[in-house]
Amino acid sequence: MNIEKVPNWILALEAEDMEFIKSFVLKSGSLKEMAKVYEVSYPTVRLKLDRLIEKIKLNDAADNEDFIKFIKNLSIDDRISVEDAKLIIEKYKQQRSEK
């Protein structure tokens, strides 16, 4: 998959989040099995999943903002680098969350 086509919500995830998602898929979405893998209780795994869902929702909603779409399109059109686009979008999100 081309990096420009990777959704921002995926790029915003940390390595730990990606590993959790991978394990979750490999365990067919069984929270009971995930609790065994991580050696924690079911409610602990449920809480981790709920937090991950919220993180994805927030980042997915941010993907739909006009300014972010504009910056991504600049990157896709090779007018700015992918790295610069990520920096601009991250700074924009920081400023927006401080309001």
Strand, helix or coil for residue 75: helix
Please give the Cα distance from 24 to 63 (Å, whole number): 24
pLDDT, position 23: 96
Task: Provide block-wise average pLDDT over 10 residues at a time, the chain (99 residues).
Answer: 76 90 96 96 95 83 76 84 89 79
pLDDT score at 33: 96
Write down the pLDDT at residue 60: 73
pLDDT at 64: 67
Nearest alpha-carbon partner for 8 in 51, 55, 47: 55
